[in-house]
Amino acid sequence: MARRLGRSPSEASALLLEESLRAAEFGFIQFRDSPVGRQAYIIGTTLAVWEIAFLARSLGDEPGRLAGYLDWPVVKVRAALQYAAAYPDEIEAAVADNDRGPEAIRAALPGLETVTIHDRDDR
């Protein structure tokens, strides 16, 4: 695992211990590998905590409203928001990565081609 993470065995051990402590402190949180590295996710879903925090901002930071939108129990939403509040730098960095836009993607993937698809009504 240390080799996969690109870290020394002691660094990987420290990371995994930190993640285990965080998961024990915050219910419904687990850490997974993602294309951008290890991230906190909500157990039983495909959503990272930063995505829940991002959605919450769009819906007015109301856990009940977001839970209804996602068709989740409110306790899962609260767990994500509590984690996000405890680790704001981690969450803000992920949101910033998401907000970089298509120009940053094109710079990272110079051979990328984009295609625009129009609805029949837009023609």
Q: In this predicted structure, what is the pLDDT of residue 121? A: 64
**What does the pLDDT look like over 94-107, one tens digit per residue?**
988 877 766 766 77
Report if residue 66 sits inside a domain: yes
What are φ and ψ of residue 52, in 5° steps? -65, -45
For residues 81 and 50, give the distance between their C-alpha atoms in angstroms, rounded to a whole number.
9
91 pLDDT tier (thresholds 50, 70, 90) = very high
11, 2 Cβ separation under 8 angstroms: yes
Give the model's pLDDT for residue 34: 86
Tell me which of 106 and 25 has the higher pLDDT. 25
pLDDT digits (tens, 9 = 90+) for 30-40: 999 987 889 99
What's the CATH code of the domain at 89?
1.10.10
Helical segments of the chain, H only: 2-5, 9-25, 49-58, 63-70, 74-86, 88-98, 102-108
Q: How many domains does the chain have?
A: 1
Which contacts of 3-9 are long-range, i.e. CB under 8 A and separated by 24 or more positions? 4/33, 5/38
